[in-house]
Amino acid sequence: MVSVSFGLGSYAVIKAPDKAPVQQAQKITATPVVYEPASSLTIVLNPTKYLNKHVKIRAKFDKFSILGLDYKPAFRSSDKYITFLIKRDDVINHVVPLSEMKNFLKKEVAEKFIDLSTGDEIEYSGTVFSDALGDTWIEVEDLKVLSQKTPKDAKKK
């Protein structure tokens, strides 16, 4: 009995499958994100079409705001984010914010742009992450100031 059980145990060890050889980790290169240039009004007219899309928008800055922060269906914490509004492109003689578009920027990034004034021309890129309430909700990943109405140095004087 002992020799039979020893023989069966040896046979099982011999027939055990070999472990697969360890393969070297392959380098995975992330494809760069391509931001599609789009009009803010076009996006606002059909936010669902742009959902989860990467967009690039040129606009005139209106103001920083708390609009849309901490709203559960499209949550962005007021501890970490600030919202900014842009001017409507279809209104010429007045400053009317495009409140149907909520642009969320991390606070530590926004602090670099505290000198922005209403009417300064900006370009920003981001991802449309929600269409809650029929509005456009964008997580801004990059913000550039193209031109300022009042230079920074003139504001300090």
Cα R_g (the chain), whole angstroms: 27
Residue 27 lies in a domain: no
Within a domain: 16: no
Reduced to 3 states (helix: H, G, I; strand: E, B; else coil), residue 5 is helix
Residue type, 107: K
Residue at 7 is within a domain: no
Question: In total, how many domains does the chain have?
Answer: 1
84 within a domain of the structure (yes/no): yes
Closest CA to 103 of 73, 133, 135: 135
CA angle, corner 64, sides to 58 and 65, nearest 5?
Answer: 120
pLDDT of residue 83: 98
Q: What is the pLDDT of residue 4?
A: 47
* pLDDT given for residue 92 in this prediction: 85
Which residue, chain included where needed, has tokens 């609009």?
A: 67
- Residue 65 resides in a domain: yes
End-to-end CA distance of the chain: 101
- For residue 91, the domain's CATH number is 2.40.50.140
Is 11 domain-assigned? no
Residue type (1 letter), 142 = D
Q: For residue 6, is it within any domain? A: no
Mark the ranges of the chain whose per-residue pLDDT is less than 50. 4, 6, 157
* Domain assignment of residue 74, given as a range: 36-152
Report the pLDDT value the prediction gives residue 16, as an integer from 0 to 100. Answer: 52
Within a domain: residue 91? Answer: yes
